[in-house]
Amino acid sequence: MDTILNDTNDMVYHYMSLHHDSLVRLDSLIALFPYKDQRITVIRSNGQVIYDNAVSHVEKMENHLMRPEIIMATKKGSGSDIRISKTTGRRYYYHATHFNGYYVRSALPYDVTVMSLLSPDNLYFYFWVMLIFLVTAFLFYFSNRFNAQMIQTQAERDAAIRRKLTHQIAHELKTPLSSVIGYMETLYDNPDLPSEKQQFFIQRSYSQAQRLNQLLQDILLLNELNEAPQTIEKELICINPLIDQVLQDVSLKLEQKKMKVHVSFDAEVWIRANSMLIYSIFRNLLDNAIAYAGENVQVTIGLSGENATHYFFLFADNGIGVASEHLNYLFDRFYRVDKGRSRKTGGTGLGLSIVKNAVELHSGSISVKNRPEGGLEFHFSLHK
CATH superfamily label, 232-383? Histidine kinase-like ATPase, C-terminal domain (3.30.565.10)
Query: Where does the pLDDT of residue 342 fall: very low under 50, low under 70, confident under 90, or very high at 90 and above?
Result: very low
**CA–CA separation, 327 vs 340, rounded Å?**
18
Query: In one letter, which amino acid is 292?
Result: Y
pLDDT above 70 as % of the chain: 74
DSSP-based three-state secondary structure for 85: coil
- State how beta strands 298-306 and 260-264 pair: parallel
Query: To 5 degrees, how large is the angle CA 39–CA 42–CA 43?
Result: 130
Q: How far apart are CA 121 and CA 304, in angstroms?
A: 60
Averaged over 99-126, what is the pLDDT? 74
| Tens of pLDDT, residues 4-33 | 888 889 888 888 887 777 777 788 788 878
Confidence at residue 123, expressed as pLDDT on a 0 to 100 scale: 60
Q: Which pLDDT band holds residue 152 (cuts at 50, 70, 90)?
A: low
Taking the complete model, does pTM exceed 0.85, yes or no?
A: no
- Indicate whether 380 pLDDT > 60: yes
Look up residue 342 and give its DSSP letter: G
CATH 1.10.287.130 fits domain 120-229 = yes
Q: Which of 214-218, 234-238, 314-318, 351-355 has the lowest mean pLDDT?
A: 214-218
**In the chain, which segments carry CATH 1.10.287.130?**
120-229
User: How far apart, in whole angstroms, are the C-alpha atoms of residue 1 and residue 3?
Assistant: 5
If we measure between CA atoms, which residue out of 38, 45, 42 comes closest to residue 22? 42
Average pLDDT over residues 182-186: 76
List, by residue range, all CATH 3.30.565.10 domains of the chain: 232-383
- Taking residues 73-100, what's their average pLDDT? 89
Mean pLDDT computed over 235-249: 92
**Residue 102 exposure: Cα atoms within 13 Å on the Cβ side:** 19
| Domain at 2-115, CATH homologous superfamily | PAS domain (3.30.450.20)
Task: For residues 123 and 143, give the distance between their C-alpha atoms in angstroms, rounded to a whole number.
Answer: 30
Whether residue 305 has pLDDT greater than 80:
yes
- Answer whether residue 164 shows pLDDT above 80: no
Question: What torsion, rounded to 10 degrees, do the Cα atoms 32, 38, 42, 46 define?
Answer: -170
DSSP assignment of 264-323 equals: E-SS--EEEE-HHHHHHHHHHHHHHHHHHS-SS-EEEEEEEEE-SSEEEEEEEE-S----
Question: Region 236-253: what's the mean pLDDT?
Answer: 91
Q: What is the arithmetic mean of pLDDT over 189-212? A: 76
Give 229 or 269, the one with higher predicted confidence.
Answer: 269
Provide the pLDDT for residue 161. Answer: 47
Q: CATH 3.30.450.20: which residues of the chain? A: 2-115
Q: How far apart are CA 95 and CA 79, in angstroms?
A: 6
